[in-house]
Amino acid sequence: MFAKPKTSPSANAPAPRQRSGVKLEPRVWLDKTLDMFRKPYVAPVSALGVFAVVLATFLNLSGDPNAASPSARVKLDKLNPPAANVHAAPDENQSGMQAFTLDSLGMFQDTPSDGFNLNDANAPPIQGTAVITMPGDPGQPAAGAPKFTTSPLTPAPIAGLFQKTDGGPLPIIASNGQTPASAYARPFKNDGRPMVALVVGGLGLNPTTTKEAITGLPPQVTLSFVPYVSNLQSWIDLARAAGHEVIIEVPMQPINFPDNDPGPQTLMANAKTDDLISHLNWVLTRATGYFAVSNYQGGAFFKDRSGVGTFMDNLKLRGIAFVDDGQAKGLNGAWARASADRIIDSQINSTAINAQLAGLESTAKSRGQALGTGFAYPVTLAVAQKWAQGLDAKGIQLAPASAITHQ
Protein backbone atom coordinates (compact mmCIF):
# COMPACT_ATOMS: atom_id res chain seq x y z
CA MET A 1 0.00 0.00 0.00
CA PHE A 2 2.72 2.44 0.90
CA ALA A 3 5.34 0.99 -1.60
CA LYS A 4 7.29 3.35 -3.88
CA PRO A 5 6.16 2.99 -7.50
CA LYS A 6 8.66 1.05 -9.69
CA THR A 7 10.28 2.98 -12.51
CA SER A 8 11.93 1.52 -15.58
CA PRO A 9 15.47 2.78 -16.27
CA SER A 10 16.09 4.43 -19.53
CA ALA A 11 17.71 2.31 -22.18
CA ASN A 12 20.42 4.93 -22.64
CA ALA A 13 21.16 5.37 -18.96
CA PRO A 14 24.71 4.43 -17.90
CA ALA A 15 25.28 1.13 -16.08
CA PRO A 16 25.11 1.49 -12.32
CA ARG A 17 28.53 1.90 -10.66
CA GLN A 18 29.84 -1.18 -8.82
CA ARG A 19 29.45 -0.67 -5.11
CA SER A 20 32.53 -0.93 -2.92
CA GLY A 21 32.83 -4.28 -1.24
CA VAL A 22 30.70 -6.12 -3.81
CA LYS A 23 32.52 -9.11 -5.32
CA LEU A 24 33.29 -8.80 -9.02
CA GLU A 25 32.24 -11.43 -11.48
CA PRO A 26 35.07 -13.92 -12.18
CA ARG A 27 35.38 -12.77 -15.81
CA VAL A 28 35.58 -9.10 -14.81
CA TRP A 29 38.20 -9.92 -12.12
CA LEU A 30 40.29 -11.86 -14.62
CA ASP A 31 40.15 -9.06 -17.19
CA LYS A 32 41.28 -6.48 -14.62
CA THR A 33 44.12 -8.74 -13.46
CA LEU A 34 45.37 -9.25 -17.02
CA ASP A 35 45.20 -5.52 -17.67
CA MET A 36 47.34 -4.89 -14.60
CA PHE A 37 50.03 -7.37 -15.69
CA ARG A 38 50.17 -5.73 -19.14
CA LYS A 39 51.56 -2.62 -17.54
CA PRO A 40 55.36 -2.18 -17.77
CA TYR A 41 57.45 -3.79 -14.96
CA VAL A 42 54.46 -5.26 -13.11
CA ALA A 43 54.91 -8.82 -14.40
CA PRO A 44 58.67 -9.15 -13.84
CA VAL A 45 58.51 -7.51 -10.41
CA SER A 46 55.68 -9.81 -9.33
CA ALA A 47 57.53 -12.88 -10.59
CA LEU A 48 60.62 -11.82 -8.66
CA GLY A 49 58.58 -11.42 -5.49
CA VAL A 50 57.06 -14.89 -5.85
CA PHE A 51 60.52 -16.38 -6.37
CA ALA A 52 61.85 -14.65 -3.23
CA VAL A 53 58.98 -16.01 -1.12
CA VAL A 54 59.51 -19.57 -2.43
CA LEU A 55 63.27 -19.37 -1.85
CA ALA A 56 62.88 -18.07 1.70
CA THR A 57 60.41 -20.86 2.50
CA PHE A 58 62.76 -23.51 1.12
CA LEU A 59 65.77 -22.23 3.06
CA ASN A 60 63.77 -22.03 6.25
CA LEU A 61 62.60 -25.62 5.98
CA SER A 62 65.87 -27.13 4.84
CA GLY A 63 68.02 -25.09 7.22
CA ASP A 64 66.37 -26.37 10.40
CA PRO A 65 65.16 -29.96 10.12
CA ASN A 66 64.18 -29.89 13.79
CA ALA A 67 62.08 -26.75 13.50
CA ALA A 68 58.95 -28.58 14.60
CA SER A 69 60.61 -30.26 17.58
CA PRO A 70 60.33 -28.87 21.10
CA SER A 71 63.38 -26.88 22.12
CA ALA A 72 64.86 -25.08 25.09
CA ARG A 73 66.83 -21.86 24.81
CA VAL A 74 69.63 -21.59 27.34
CA LYS A 75 71.69 -18.47 27.90
CA LEU A 76 75.39 -19.21 28.35
CA ASP A 77 77.03 -16.71 30.66
CA LYS A 78 80.67 -16.49 31.63
CA LEU A 79 81.16 -18.15 35.00
CA ASN A 80 83.79 -17.40 37.61
CA PRO A 81 86.09 -20.40 38.19
CA PRO A 82 84.99 -22.39 41.27
CA ALA A 83 87.24 -23.08 44.20
CA ALA A 84 89.37 -26.18 43.94
CA ASN A 85 87.53 -29.34 44.96
CA VAL A 86 88.93 -32.84 44.77
CA HIS A 87 85.49 -34.22 43.98
CA ALA A 88 84.70 -31.61 41.32
CA ALA A 89 85.05 -32.31 37.62
CA PRO A 90 88.49 -31.34 36.34
CA ASP A 91 89.10 -28.25 34.26
CA GLU A 92 88.15 -28.70 30.63
CA ASN A 93 91.31 -26.92 29.48
CA GLN A 94 93.60 -29.93 29.57
CA SER A 95 97.38 -29.57 29.40
CA GLY A 96 99.97 -31.89 27.88
CA MET A 97 97.52 -33.08 25.25
CA GLN A 98 99.43 -32.12 22.12
CA ALA A 99 100.37 -35.72 21.36
CA PHE A 100 97.38 -37.50 22.87
CA THR A 101 94.01 -36.14 21.84
CA LEU A 102 90.86 -37.27 20.13
CA ASP A 103 92.02 -35.31 17.11
CA SER A 104 95.05 -37.62 16.86
CA LEU A 105 92.55 -40.31 15.95
CA GLY A 106 91.37 -38.18 13.01
CA MET A 107 87.85 -37.83 14.40
CA PHE A 108 87.65 -34.07 14.02
CA GLN A 109 89.99 -33.36 11.12
CA ASP A 110 87.15 -31.91 9.04
CA THR A 111 85.54 -29.94 11.85
CA PRO A 112 85.94 -26.13 11.52
CA SER A 113 87.33 -24.44 14.58
CA ASP A 114 86.20 -20.91 13.74
CA GLY A 115 89.64 -19.66 14.76
CA PHE A 116 89.57 -21.15 18.28
CA ASN A 117 91.80 -23.89 19.63
CA LEU A 118 89.72 -26.03 21.96
CA ASN A 119 92.83 -27.13 23.83
CA ASP A 120 94.08 -23.55 24.32
CA ALA A 121 93.87 -22.58 27.98
CA ASN A 122 93.91 -18.91 26.98
CA ALA A 123 91.01 -19.19 24.55
CA PRO A 124 88.14 -16.76 25.28
CA PRO A 125 85.10 -18.22 27.04
CA ILE A 126 82.19 -19.32 24.89
CA GLN A 127 79.16 -17.14 25.50
CA GLY A 128 75.77 -16.69 23.88
CA THR A 129 72.59 -18.70 23.62
CA ALA A 130 72.39 -22.42 22.94
CA VAL A 131 69.25 -23.96 21.47
CA ILE A 132 68.91 -27.60 22.49
CA THR A 133 66.44 -29.59 20.40
CA MET A 134 64.78 -32.38 22.34
CA PRO A 135 63.12 -35.22 20.39
CA GLY A 136 59.84 -36.56 21.65
CA ASP A 137 57.89 -35.35 24.65
CA PRO A 138 60.08 -33.03 26.74
CA GLY A 139 58.09 -33.96 29.81
CA GLN A 140 59.05 -37.63 29.64
CA PRO A 141 62.37 -39.13 30.78
CA ALA A 142 64.77 -40.27 28.08
CA ALA A 143 64.30 -43.86 26.96
CA GLY A 144 66.87 -46.26 28.30
CA ALA A 145 67.93 -44.00 31.19
CA PRO A 146 70.42 -45.73 33.51
CA LYS A 147 68.84 -47.66 36.37
CA PHE A 148 71.37 -48.71 38.99
CA THR A 149 72.54 -47.89 42.48
CA THR A 150 76.06 -46.85 43.33
CA SER A 151 78.22 -46.99 46.42
CA PRO A 152 81.56 -45.15 46.58
CA LEU A 153 84.82 -47.04 46.76
CA THR A 154 87.41 -46.32 49.43
CA PRO A 155 89.01 -42.92 48.75
CA ALA A 156 92.60 -42.99 47.49
CA PRO A 157 95.34 -43.07 48.51
CA ILE A 158 95.23 -45.87 51.06
CA ALA A 159 97.99 -45.66 53.65
CA GLY A 160 100.87 -48.06 53.11
CA LEU A 161 100.22 -48.56 49.38
CA PHE A 162 102.47 -45.81 48.04
CA GLN A 163 105.84 -44.20 48.53
CA LYS A 164 106.52 -40.51 48.06
CA THR A 165 108.80 -39.55 45.20
CA ASP A 166 109.72 -36.29 43.52
CA GLY A 167 107.41 -37.23 40.65
CA GLY A 168 104.47 -38.20 42.84
CA PRO A 169 103.14 -41.20 44.80
CA LEU A 170 104.56 -44.48 43.47
CA PRO A 171 102.50 -47.63 44.20
CA ILE A 172 104.02 -50.33 46.41
CA ILE A 173 102.95 -53.51 48.15
CA ALA A 174 102.06 -52.79 51.78
CA SER A 175 104.03 -54.35 54.63
CA ASN A 176 101.06 -56.60 55.39
CA GLY A 177 101.09 -57.95 51.83
CA GLN A 178 98.13 -55.91 50.56
CA THR A 179 98.53 -54.81 46.95
CA PRO A 180 97.09 -51.86 45.01
CA ALA A 181 95.63 -54.48 42.62
CA SER A 182 93.42 -55.84 45.38
CA ALA A 183 92.90 -52.73 47.51
CA TYR A 184 91.70 -50.51 44.65
CA ALA A 185 89.65 -53.14 42.81
CA ARG A 186 85.89 -52.98 43.01
CA PRO A 187 84.57 -55.64 45.43
CA PHE A 188 82.71 -58.38 43.59
CA LYS A 189 80.83 -61.50 44.64
CA ASN A 190 80.42 -64.10 41.93
CA ASP A 191 76.91 -65.56 41.93
CA GLY A 192 77.83 -68.42 39.59
CA ARG A 193 76.39 -67.01 36.39
CA PRO A 194 78.57 -66.27 33.33
CA MET A 195 80.52 -63.04 33.79
CA VAL A 196 81.07 -60.23 31.30
CA ALA A 197 83.43 -57.33 32.05
CA LEU A 198 83.79 -54.11 30.07
CA VAL A 199 86.61 -51.54 30.12
CA VAL A 200 85.90 -48.11 28.63
CA GLY A 201 89.10 -46.19 27.86
CA GLY A 202 90.36 -42.89 26.54
CA LEU A 203 88.77 -41.04 29.43
CA GLY A 204 89.77 -37.56 30.52
CA LEU A 205 90.33 -36.34 26.96
CA ASN A 206 86.79 -35.05 26.58
CA PRO A 207 85.23 -33.74 29.81
CA THR A 208 81.67 -34.24 28.54
CA THR A 209 82.05 -37.89 27.59
CA THR A 210 84.16 -38.55 30.68
CA LYS A 211 81.40 -37.26 32.95
CA GLU A 212 78.85 -39.29 30.99
CA ALA A 213 80.92 -42.46 31.42
CA ILE A 214 81.29 -41.88 35.16
CA THR A 215 77.64 -41.10 35.83
CA GLY A 216 75.89 -42.98 33.02
CA LEU A 217 77.58 -46.38 33.02
CA PRO A 218 76.91 -48.98 35.73
CA PRO A 219 79.55 -48.97 38.48
CA GLN A 220 80.64 -52.49 37.45
CA VAL A 221 82.12 -51.02 34.25
CA THR A 222 85.85 -50.38 34.63
CA LEU A 223 87.06 -46.95 33.51
CA SER A 224 90.48 -46.35 31.94
CA PHE A 225 92.13 -42.90 31.92
CA VAL A 226 94.78 -41.24 29.76
CA PRO A 227 97.92 -40.31 31.77
CA TYR A 228 98.55 -37.02 29.96
CA VAL A 229 95.28 -35.52 31.23
CA SER A 230 95.59 -32.67 33.72
CA ASN A 231 93.82 -33.12 37.05
CA LEU A 232 93.90 -36.88 36.56
CA GLN A 233 93.53 -37.49 40.29
CA SER A 234 90.30 -35.50 40.37
CA TRP A 235 88.85 -37.65 37.57
CA ILE A 236 89.87 -40.84 39.40
CA ASP A 237 88.34 -39.56 42.63
CA LEU A 238 85.08 -38.86 40.81
CA ALA A 239 85.07 -42.29 39.21
CA ARG A 240 85.73 -44.11 42.47
CA ALA A 241 83.11 -42.01 44.25
CA ALA A 242 80.64 -43.33 41.65
CA GLY A 243 81.73 -46.91 42.34
CA HIS A 244 84.00 -47.50 39.32
CA GLU A 245 87.37 -49.17 39.63
CA VAL A 246 90.02 -47.43 37.58
CA ILE A 247 92.88 -48.19 35.16
CA ILE A 248 95.62 -45.88 33.84
CA GLU A 249 96.78 -46.30 30.25
CA VAL A 250 100.48 -46.70 29.45
CA PRO A 251 101.46 -45.35 26.01
CA MET A 252 103.50 -47.92 24.05
CA GLN A 253 105.23 -47.80 20.69
CA PRO A 254 102.90 -48.72 17.81
CA ILE A 255 103.89 -50.38 14.56
CA ASN A 256 103.61 -47.14 12.56
CA PHE A 257 105.71 -44.98 14.88
CA PRO A 258 106.58 -42.07 14.46
CA ASP A 259 103.64 -41.35 12.14
CA ASN A 260 101.51 -42.46 15.09
CA ASP A 261 103.18 -41.02 18.19
CA PRO A 262 101.55 -41.79 21.58
CA GLY A 263 103.48 -39.02 23.32
CA PRO A 264 106.73 -38.22 25.12
CA GLN A 265 106.38 -40.93 27.79
CA THR A 266 105.91 -43.79 25.33
CA LEU A 267 107.53 -47.12 26.20
CA MET A 268 109.78 -47.74 23.21
CA ALA A 269 110.85 -51.10 21.85
CA ASN A 270 114.55 -51.85 22.45
CA ALA A 271 114.86 -48.89 24.83
CA LYS A 272 117.42 -48.81 27.61
CA THR A 273 116.13 -50.39 30.80
CA ASP A 274 116.56 -47.16 32.78
CA ASP A 275 114.63 -45.17 30.17
CA LEU A 276 111.81 -47.71 30.09
CA ILE A 277 111.48 -47.75 33.88
CA SER A 278 111.62 -43.94 33.99
CA HIS A 279 108.75 -43.62 31.52
CA LEU A 280 106.73 -46.30 33.30
CA ASN A 281 107.24 -44.64 36.69
CA TRP A 282 106.13 -41.32 35.22
CA VAL A 283 102.79 -42.91 34.37
CA LEU A 284 102.52 -44.72 37.71
CA THR A 285 103.07 -41.49 39.69
CA ARG A 286 100.40 -39.51 37.86
CA ALA A 287 97.72 -40.47 40.40
CA THR A 288 96.67 -43.06 42.94
CA GLY A 289 93.60 -45.26 43.24
CA TYR A 290 94.04 -47.45 40.13
CA PHE A 291 94.23 -51.24 40.45
CA ALA A 292 95.82 -51.87 37.04
CA VAL A 293 97.38 -50.31 33.99
CA SER A 294 96.50 -51.01 30.38
CA ASN A 295 98.22 -50.48 27.06
CA TYR A 296 97.62 -47.64 24.66
CA GLN A 297 98.89 -48.89 21.28
CA GLY A 298 101.93 -51.17 21.67
CA GLY A 299 102.10 -53.23 18.48
CA ALA A 300 105.87 -52.70 18.23
CA PHE A 301 106.62 -52.69 21.96
CA PHE A 302 105.05 -56.10 22.56
CA LYS A 303 107.54 -57.63 20.10
CA ASP A 304 110.41 -56.57 22.37
CA ARG A 305 110.47 -59.53 24.78
CA SER A 306 113.15 -57.97 26.96
CA GLY A 307 111.27 -54.67 27.29
CA VAL A 308 107.97 -56.46 27.97
CA GLY A 309 109.69 -58.55 30.63
CA THR A 310 111.03 -55.44 32.37
CA PHE A 311 107.59 -53.84 32.18
CA MET A 312 105.80 -56.87 33.63
CA ASP A 313 108.38 -57.41 36.37
CA ASN A 314 108.03 -53.83 37.59
CA LEU A 315 104.24 -54.11 37.73
CA LYS A 316 104.54 -57.33 39.74
CA LEU A 317 107.05 -55.71 42.09
CA ARG A 318 104.57 -52.91 42.79
CA GLY A 319 101.45 -55.06 43.06
CA ILE A 320 99.80 -53.67 39.91
CA ALA A 321 97.67 -55.70 37.49
CA PHE A 322 97.90 -55.42 33.70
CA VAL A 323 94.79 -55.50 31.50
CA ASP A 324 95.47 -55.27 27.77
CA ASP A 325 93.22 -54.81 24.74
CA GLY A 326 94.08 -58.26 23.35
CA GLN A 327 97.46 -57.42 21.77
CA ALA A 328 99.38 -58.97 24.70
CA LYS A 329 97.30 -62.13 24.99
CA GLY A 330 99.49 -64.97 26.16
CA LEU A 331 102.11 -62.73 27.78
CA ASN A 332 102.50 -63.42 31.50
CA GLY A 333 103.70 -61.23 34.32
CA ALA A 334 102.47 -58.29 36.41
CA TRP A 335 100.69 -58.96 39.69
CA ALA A 336 97.59 -60.14 37.85
CA ARG A 337 96.67 -60.40 34.17
CA ALA A 338 93.73 -60.22 31.80
CA SER A 339 93.44 -59.79 28.04
CA ALA A 340 90.37 -58.56 26.22
CA ASP A 341 88.46 -60.98 24.03
CA ARG A 342 87.02 -58.22 21.84
CA ILE A 343 87.35 -54.53 21.08
CA ILE A 344 83.68 -53.65 20.89
CA ASP A 345 83.93 -50.44 18.83
CA SER A 346 86.57 -51.11 16.20
CA GLN A 347 83.71 -50.09 13.92
CA ILE A 348 82.07 -46.97 15.34
CA ASN A 349 78.37 -47.63 14.81
CA SER A 350 75.67 -49.04 17.03
CA THR A 351 74.99 -52.11 14.88
CA ALA A 352 78.62 -53.25 14.94
CA ILE A 353 78.99 -52.48 18.66
CA ASN A 354 75.88 -54.48 19.52
CA ALA A 355 77.22 -57.39 17.47
CA GLN A 356 80.51 -57.34 19.40
CA LEU A 357 78.69 -57.21 22.72
CA ALA A 358 76.58 -60.18 21.66
CA GLY A 359 79.83 -61.99 20.89
CA LEU A 360 81.04 -61.28 24.42
CA GLU A 361 77.85 -62.78 25.79
CA SER A 362 78.37 -65.94 23.74
CA THR A 363 81.98 -66.23 24.95
CA ALA A 364 80.89 -65.78 28.55
CA LYS A 365 78.23 -68.48 28.26
CA SER A 366 80.63 -70.96 26.69
CA ARG A 367 83.73 -70.17 28.77
CA GLY A 368 82.26 -68.70 31.95
CA GLN A 369 83.70 -65.20 31.49
CA ALA A 370 84.56 -62.62 28.83
CA LEU A 371 86.26 -59.23 28.72
CA GLY A 372 85.64 -56.43 26.23
CA THR A 373 87.26 -53.04 25.78
CA GLY A 374 86.06 -49.89 24.06
CA PHE A 375 86.74 -46.20 23.64
CA ALA A 376 84.62 -43.43 25.13
CA TYR A 377 82.85 -42.56 21.88
CA PRO A 378 79.34 -41.20 22.53
CA VAL A 379 77.81 -44.08 20.57
CA THR A 380 79.82 -46.61 22.61
CA LEU A 381 78.56 -45.12 25.87
CA ALA A 382 74.96 -45.04 24.67
CA VAL A 383 74.98 -48.64 23.43
CA ALA A 384 76.81 -49.91 26.53
CA GLN A 385 74.26 -48.27 28.85
CA LYS A 386 71.35 -50.00 27.17
CA TRP A 387 73.19 -53.31 26.80
CA ALA A 388 74.12 -53.48 30.49
CA GLN A 389 70.48 -53.09 31.54
CA GLY A 390 69.50 -56.29 29.72
CA LEU A 391 72.21 -58.64 31.01
CA ASP A 392 70.30 -59.90 34.06
CA ALA A 393 67.41 -61.03 31.89
CA LYS A 394 69.91 -63.05 29.80
CA GLY A 395 71.33 -64.80 32.86
CA ILE A 396 74.66 -62.94 32.69
CA GLN A 397 76.30 -60.91 35.44
CA LEU A 398 78.22 -57.70 34.75
CA ALA A 399 81.56 -57.85 36.53
CA PRO A 400 84.44 -55.42 36.99
CA ALA A 401 87.59 -56.21 35.00
CA SER A 402 89.44 -57.06 38.21
CA ALA A 403 87.16 -60.09 38.63
CA ILE A 404 88.45 -61.45 35.29
CA THR A 405 92.15 -61.05 36.14
CA HIS A 406 94.26 -64.02 37.23
CA GLN A 407 97.68 -64.35 38.79
Check: CB of residue 336 under 8 Å from CB of residue 407.
yes
Mean pLDDT of 255-270: 96
Q: What is the pLDDT of residue 64?
A: 43
Q: What is the pLDDT of residue 32?
A: 64
Q: Please state, in angstroms and rounded to a whole number, the distance separating the CA atoms of residues 320 and 113.
A: 41
Q: Kindly state whether residue 43 falls inside one of the protein's structural domains.
A: no
Q: Where are the alpha helices (DSSP H) in 39-187?
A: 42-63, 180-183
Q: Kindly state whether residue 124 falls inside one of the protein's structural domains.
A: no
Mean pLDDT of 116-145: 37
Q: Kindly state whether residue 36 falls inside one of the protein's structural domains.
A: no
Asked if the model's pLDDT at residue 18 lies above 60, the reply is no
Check: CB of residue 250 under 8 Å from CB of residue 283.
yes
Chain segment 73-116, per-residue pLDDT in tens: 434 444 444 443 434 455 444 433 333 333 333 333 333 333 33
Pairwise pLDDT comparison (152 vs 44), residue with the higher score: 152
Band of pLDDT at residue 12, cut at 50, 70 and 90: very low
Asked if the model's pLDDT at residue 246 lies above 80, the reply is yes
Asked if the model's pLDDT at residue 272 lies above 90, the reply is yes
- Residue 373 CB neighbour total at 10 angstroms: 25
Task: Pick the range with the lowest mean pLDDT from 7-16, 241-250, 252-261, 277-286.
Answer: 7-16
- Please state whether beta strands 169-171 and 162-164 pair in parallel, antiparallel, or not at all (unpaired): antiparallel
Asked if the model's pLDDT at residue 4 lies above 80, the reply is no
Which amino acid is located at 49 in the chain? G
Task: Pick the range with the lowest mean pLDDT from 148-152, 166-170, 306-310.
Answer: 148-152
Helix or strand (DSSP H, E) at 306: helix 305-317
Q: Kindly state whether residue 194 falls inside one of the protein's structural domains.
A: yes
DSSP string, 343-402: ETTSS-SHHHHHHHHHHHHHHHHHHSEEEEEEE--HHHHHHHHHHHHTTGGGT-EEE-GG
Check: CB of residue 335 under 8 Å from CB of residue 316.
yes
Q: Kindly state whether residue 222 falls inside one of the protein's structural domains.
A: yes
0.75 exceeded by pTM: no
Band of pLDDT at residue 147, cut at 50, 70 and 90: low
Q: What is the pLDDT of residue 51?
A: 67
Highest mean pLDDT: which range of 85-94, 134-143, 159-168:
159-168
Band of pLDDT at residue 150, cut at 50, 70 and 90: confident
Which amino acid is located at 9 in the chain? P
- Terminal alpha carbon distance of the chain: 123
Q: Kindly state whether residue 355 falls inside one of the protein's structural domains.
A: yes
DSSP string, 227-250: TT-TTHHHHHHHHHHTT--EEEEE
Q: Please state, in angstroms and rounded to a whole number, the distance separating the CA atoms of residues 343 and 83.
A: 39
Instruction: State which residues form the domain around 339.
Output: 162-403
Mean pLDDT of 266-295: 98
Mean pLDDT of the residues in the chain: 78
- Give the domain CATH number at 198: 3.20.20.370
Chain segment 35-83, per-residue pLDDT in tens: 665 666 556 656 666 666 655 555 554 444 444 334 444 344 444 444 4
Instruction: Give CA torsion, residues 55, 57, 63, 65, to 10 deg.
Output: -140
Q: What is the pLDDT of residue 390?
A: 96
Q: Kindly state whether residue 154 falls inside one of the protein's structural domains.
A: no
Check: CB of residue 223 under 8 Å from CB of residue 400.
no
Q: Kindly state whether residue 296 falls inside one of the protein's structural domains.
A: yes
Chain segment 218-230, per-residue pLDDT in tens: 999 999 999 999 8
Pairwise pLDDT comparison (53 vs 317), residue with the higher score: 317
The number of folded domains in the chain is 1
Q: What is the pLDDT of residue 317?
A: 97
